[in-house]
Amino acid sequence: MNGVSATPSRGAGRTFLLAVFLLLAALRGPTRADTEGADPSVLPAAPLNERVLKLPGDPAQPVTLEVTLYTPNGPGPFPLAIMNHGASGASNNNRGARYRFTISAYYFLSRGYAVALPMMRGFAGSGGTLVHYGCDLAAVGTANARDIGAVIDAVSALPTIDGRRVIVAGQSFGGWNALAVGTLGRPAVKGVVNFVGGIRSSDCADPDTALVAAAATFGARTHIPSIWFYGDNDTLFPVATWRGMHARYTSAGGQAELVPVGAFKTDSHQFLSYTDALPIWTPRVDRFLASLSMPSAIVNPGYLPTPGPAPSHFAAITDAAAVPFLKDSGRALYQRFLAASDPKAFAIAANGTATMQTKGYDPLARAMAICTTAPAPCGLYAVNDAVVWTSPKAAPRLFNITVAAGTTSLLTFAYAVNPDCSSRGLPKLWIVQPPAHGSAEAARQLDFPRFQPNNPLAACNTGKVPGIAVRYTPAKGFTGSDLVTFEEINTDNQDLVYRLSITVH
List, in sequence order, every residue forming a beta bridge with 64; answer none if it has no partner.
56
What would the mean pLDDT of 116-141 be, rounded to a whole number? 94
Classify residue 479: in a domain, yes or no: yes
The CATH number assigned to the domain holding 499 equals 2.60.40
Classify residue 304: in a domain, yes or no: no
Q: Which of 273, 294, 315 is the last residue of a domain?
A: 294
Determine the Cα–Cα distance for residues 251 and 410; give it in Å rounded to an integer.
64
Helix (H) or strand (E) holding 428: strand 428-433
Among 178-182, 286-290, 353-357, the range scoring the smallest mean pLDDT is: 353-357
Burial of 132 (0-12, 13-18, 19+ CB in 10 A): middle
Q: Quick check: 34 pLDDT over 50?
A: no
Question: 16 with 59, same domain?
Answer: no
Question: 62 with 16, same domain?
Answer: no
Question: 225 with 284, same domain?
Answer: yes
Q: What tens digit of pLDDT does each residue of 441-481 get? A: 999 999 999 999 999 999 999 999 999 999 999 999 999 99
Q: Tell how strand 428-433 and strand 480-489 pair up.
A: antiparallel
424 half-sphere exposure, CB direction, 13 A CA radius: 22
Determine the Cα–Cα distance for residues 486 and 16; give it in Å rounded to an integer.
15
Question: 288 with 406, same domain?
Answer: no
The CATH number assigned to the domain holding 108 equals 3.40.50.1820
The range of the structural domain enclosing residue 89 comes to 46-294
Among 1-10, 132-141, 325-334, the range scoring the smallest mean pLDDT is: 1-10
Q: How far is CA 104 from CA 70, 201, 217, 278, in A?
A: 12, 25, 27, 9
pLDDT the model gives residue 13: 52
Classify residue 369: in a domain, yes or no: no
> How many domains, the chain?
2
Determine the Cα–Cα distance for residues 347 and 259; give it in Å rounded to an integer.
36
Q: Quick check: 94 pLDDT over 80?
A: no
pLDDT the model gives residue 57: 97
Question: 16 with 68, same domain?
Answer: no
pLDDT the model gives residue 2: 28
Burial of 454 (0-12, 13-18, 19+ CB in 10 A): exposed
Classify residue 383: in a domain, yes or no: no
Provide the terminal-to-terminal Cα distance of the chain, rounded to the nearest Å. 20
Residue type, 73: N
Question: 141 with 202, same domain?
Answer: yes
Beta sheet of 465-474, edge-to-edge order = 12-13, 409-416, 465-474, 438-447
pTM above 0.75, yes or no: no
Provide the pLDDT confidence category of residue 90 given band limits of 50, 70 and 90: low
Nearest in space to 208 (alpha carbons), one of 252, 256, 240, 170: 240
Helix then strand count (H, E) for the chain reads 8, 20
Q: Tell how strand 409-416 and strand 465-474 pair up.
A: antiparallel
List, in sequence order, every residue forming a beta bridge with 468; answer none if it has no partner.
414, 444
| Radius of gyration of the chain measured on its C-alpha atoms | 30
Q: What tens digit of pLDDT does each residue of 257-279 get? A: 999 999 999 999 999 998 889 99
Determine the Cα–Cα distance for residues 175 and 190; give it in Å rounded to an integer.
16
Question: 95 with 146, same domain?
Answer: yes
**Higher-confidence position of 54 and 379:** 54
Q: Are 431 and 443 in contact (CB under 8 A)?
A: no
List, in sequence order, every residue forming a beta bridge with 6; answer none if it has no partner.
none
What would the mean pLDDT of 2-22 be, rounded to a whole number? 31
Question: 95 with 213, same domain?
Answer: yes
**Higher-confidence position of 124 and 27:** 124
Determine the Cα–Cα distance for residues 295 and 242; give it in Å rounded to an integer.
28
Is 207 in a helix, a strand, or coil? helix
Question: 425 with 287, same domain?
Answer: no
Question: 91 with 202, same domain?
Answer: yes
pLDDT the model gives residue 374: 81
Q: Are 458 and 413 in contact (CB under 8 A)?
A: no
Nearest in space to 193 (alpha carbons), one of 166, 153, 214, 156: 166
Determine the Cα–Cα distance for residues 482 and 500; give it in Å rounded to an integer.
8
Question: 16 with 72, same domain?
Answer: no
Q: Quick check: 14 pLDDT over 50?
A: no
List, in sequence order, every residue forming a beta bridge with 66; answer none if it has no partner.
54
pLDDT the model gives residue 91: 63
Nearest in space to 389 (alpha carbons), one of 316, 285, 473: 316
Q: Count CB-CB contacts under 10 A for residue 178.
A: 29
Q: What tens digit of pLDDT does each residue of 188-204 get? A: 999 999 999 999 887 88
Mean pLDDT, the chain, rounded, equals 88
Question: 16 with 90, same domain?
Answer: no
Q: What tens digit of pLDDT does each residue of 187-244 get? A: 999 999 999 999 988 788 899 999 999 999 999 999 999 999 999 999 999 999 999 9
Classify residue 88: in a domain, yes or no: yes
Provide the pLDDT confidence category of residue 6 given band limits of 50, 70 and 90: very low
Classify residue 289: in a domain, yes or no: yes
pLDDT the model gives residue 20: 21
Classify residue 325: in a domain, yes or no: no
Cα angle value 479/483/489 (rounded, 5°): 145
Classify residue 102: in a domain, yes or no: yes
Determine the Cα–Cα distance for residues 284 and 257; give it in Å rounded to an integer.
10
List, in sequence order, every residue forming a beta bridge with 189; answer none if it has no partner.
166
Q: Which of 294, 312, 342 is the last residue of a domain?
A: 294
Q: Which of 294, 317, 347 is the last residue of a domain?
A: 294
